[in-house]
Amino acid sequence: MNVIKQHILCSLNNIVAKYLQTVSVASNSNFIVQTPPKNIDADFALNVAMLISKKTKKPPRIVAQELANIIIKEIPELVEKVETSSAGFINLCINNEVLYKELKSILEEKDKYGSLSKNNKKRIIIEFVSANPTGPLHVGHGRGAAIGDSLARILKYLGYSVTKEYYLNDVGNQMFLLAKSTEIRYRQLKGEKIDLPADHYQGSYIIDIAKRLLSEGRSINQIDFKHESVSEILKAIKYDLEKFNIEFDNWFFESTLTNTIDKNGKTEIAKISEFFLKKGFAYIKDDILWLASTKFGDDKDRALRRSDGRYTYFASDIAYHMNKFKRGFTKLINLWGADHHGYVARIKACVQMLGFKKETLHIILYQLVSLLRNDSSVSMSTRTGEFITLRKVIDEVGKDVCRFFFLLRSPDSQLKFDLELAKKQSNENPIFYVQYVNARCNSILKKSTDRNDIMIDTKNIDFSLLNTKEERNLIKQLIAFCDTLVISEKTMSPHHLTTYLIKLADVYHKFYEKCRVLANDSNLASARLKLIESVMIIIKNCLGLLGISTIDTM
């Protein structure tokens, strides 16, 4: 949260507590500091009077007025003017000096502004993408990738220790199918007359792998089709993610759970199953080991071990989550596509069975992406292998535009991604509206070097010259960056930052129109250049958290 708001909240808490004592009422209320609507000429608004009026047995208007009188007396260094509305809102005008002081902080702290020092209390692991290594990443994965990566950046910026992890399902039936698919393609290339069954992987990338294997001239029984296919596909996935500016701290292979055994010859999965059985969270029926997940809110009980003795994927997923806890993480964040929502209840049930609070696991579901080209939808069918890969989209519209589009909307809403719109380098494309700010700033900065009367040292700058409405709004918007970070964390969504940037651009362009930066007056020009500098700092920080680079010229 920005320091000014924090300061107000803190002072107000004291003032309200004292006030309630004078009217002999104990306890406190959770009031908020918010931005008043446009038509009201104030910087911050308080709803506290409405909340405590019942306790004080006075109408909100009166309470507001009484509090307002105290505020102006108690914190004049912060608040310049207080007004109350008939409904009971208290509207505060902030002393300009406070704003200038904050502006100086931006200039001093630069890429640290708004960040918090490292706090090791919460160790977060954020798991995202985790697409099966059976084919290339598609646009849907791209959305999860962008959201997960940005969120990780934001949380890191806010001082948390964050680990980004990709969970790889490299065992099971799908791996068998993948290996088989490559093998069949290989045999086909060799001239054998066999068909690829419909439930096998149909994508052309399989043929490419088979072609490579063939060109290497090894005989068929020398080839480990599974290993060859997975490693090749994995290489492609890593390449795509790198292109998308995403780097994982850790790649976790499911096989480490199924293959690692202790001295008694037991896997982690088996041990957890036994633990559940002992605890009464699991039971055997018809030779199947069932998890009684209904005990913790799931719709039905789930199979952990099949009648043939093999464990299910779900069982290893439980072991995987346990493994995260064992590694010392205290907060687990998972990003899942909305098609996995049915999974939420059962995995949360497991977390509780393992002895952790269900809140320690936070699952973010993001809705699906539909790709458009000129308003008509681009078909995406995974079965036939004809889907739009993430790489194609990145190549077509660029990494930055792609990330911005994915981060423009809340994960809850379905995303319509229009390829043609994203490609347009015009005002129709919101990212350029934002990038244009930086370009304009940059251009002014360059031009300013022609002048020798500009003061560089912040100490010599007279910030009080920044006193127009436009300049004040711009400074306020810059400071609001801190609030946006807090909201993004609270709601676990980076899209607030894109919205913030668009608003910042709006305020900036208005300022640009009204205030000539390189004014004749040296003092004014120097002060405004400092303002420009801080705009560039904030934009860079903000875009950085979204994983997007700034553009200096358009």
Residues in 170-189 at the binding interface with RNA, rule: CB under 7 A = 171-174
Does 404 bind RNA (CB under 7 A)? Our answer is no
- Residue 259 or 425: which CB sits closer to RNA? 425
Does 37 bind RNA (CB under 7 A)? Our answer is yes
Site for RNA in 248-277 (CB under 7 A): 254
Does 443 bind RNA (CB under 7 A)? Our answer is yes
- Residue 17 or 32: which CB sits closer to RNA? 32
- Residue 358 or 416: which CB sits closer to RNA? 416
Among positions 339, 420, 462, 521, the unique one binding RNA when judged by CB under 7 A:
339
Site for RNA in 192-221 (CB under 7 A): none
- Residue 188 or 433: which CB sits closer to RNA? 433
Among positions 222, 376, 427, 449, the unique one binding RNA when judged by CB under 7 A:
427
Does 45 bind RNA (CB under 7 A)? Our answer is yes
Sign, CA dihedral 111-114-120-125, equals: negative
Among positions 28, 132, 188, 255, the unique one binding RNA when judged by CB under 7 A:
132
- Least distance to RNA from the beta carbon of 61, Å? 11
How far CA 538 is from CA of 62, 112, 324, 515, in Å, comes to 41, 10, 35, 20
Question: 171-186 burial, b for 16+ CB within 10 Å, e for fewer?
Answer: bbeebeebbbbbbbbb
Contact 6, 42 (CB under 8 A): no
Alpha-carbon span 220 to 237, nearest angstrom: 26
Q: Binding string to RNA for residues 57 to 76, with x set by CB under 7 A, is what?
A: ---x----------------
- CA dihedral of 521, 527, 530, 531, whole degrees rounded to 10: -110
Among positions 251, 275, 296, 343, the unique one binding RNA when judged by CB under 7 A:
343
Q: Binding string to RNA for residues 136 to 175, with x set by CB under 7 A, is what?
A: ---------------------------------x-xxxx-
Site for RNA in 535-554 (CB under 7 A): 552-554
- Least distance to RNA from the beta carbon of 49, Å? 9
User: If you count DSSP H runs as helices and E runs as strands, how many of each does the chain have, helices first?
Assistant: 19, 15
Take residue 237 and report the two structure tokens written for it.
């996935």
- Residue 18 or 340: which CB sits closer to RNA? 340
For residue 239, how far is the Cα from the chain centroid? 22
CA angle (117, 121, 124) in 5-degree steps:
90
Name the E strands within 186-268: 250-253
Among positions 25, 303, 354, 380, the unique one binding RNA when judged by CB under 7 A:
303
Alpha-carbon span 533 to 103, nearest angstrom: 10
Does 338 bind RNA (CB under 7 A)? Our answer is yes
- Least distance to RNA from the beta carbon of 401, Å? 11
Locate tokens 């609001």: which residue? 480
Does 520 bind RNA (CB under 7 A)? Our answer is no
Name the E strands within 343-449: 361-366, 369-373, 376-377, 415-418
Among positions 252, 320, 432, 481, the unique one binding RNA when judged by CB under 7 A:
432
Alpha-carbon span 139 to 145, nearest angstrom: 10
User: Of 331, 362, 367, 329, nearest to 347 (Cα)?
Assistant: 362
User: Of 549, 477, 461, 544, nearest to 510 (Cα)?
Assistant: 477
Q: Residue 232, by phi and psi: left (phi above 0), alpha (psi -120 to 50) or beta?
A: alpha
- Residue 213 or 496: which CB sits closer to RNA? 496
Alpha-carbon span 148 to 165, nearest angstrom: 10
Among positions 93, 365, 378, 380, the unique one binding RNA when judged by CB under 7 A:
365
Does 13 bind RNA (CB under 7 A)? Our answer is no
Q: How far apart are the first and last CA of the chain?
A: 33
Sign, CA dihedral 354-359-362-364, equals: positive
Does 283 bind RNA (CB under 7 A)? Our answer is no
Q: Which residues pair with 365 in a beta bridge?
A: 336
Stretch of 32-40, 179-187, 210-218, 387-395 contacting RNA, by CB under 7 A: 32-40
Stretch of 83-91, 109-117, 320-328, 461-469 contacting RNA, by CB under 7 A: 83-91
- Residue 307 or 522: which CB sits closer to RNA? 307
Q: Binding string to RNA for residues 308 to 337, with x set by CB under 7 A, is what?
A: x-x-xxx-----------------------
Stretch of 14-22, 71-79, 107-115, 282-290 contacting RNA, by CB under 7 A: 282-290
Does 116 bind RNA (CB under 7 A)? Our answer is no
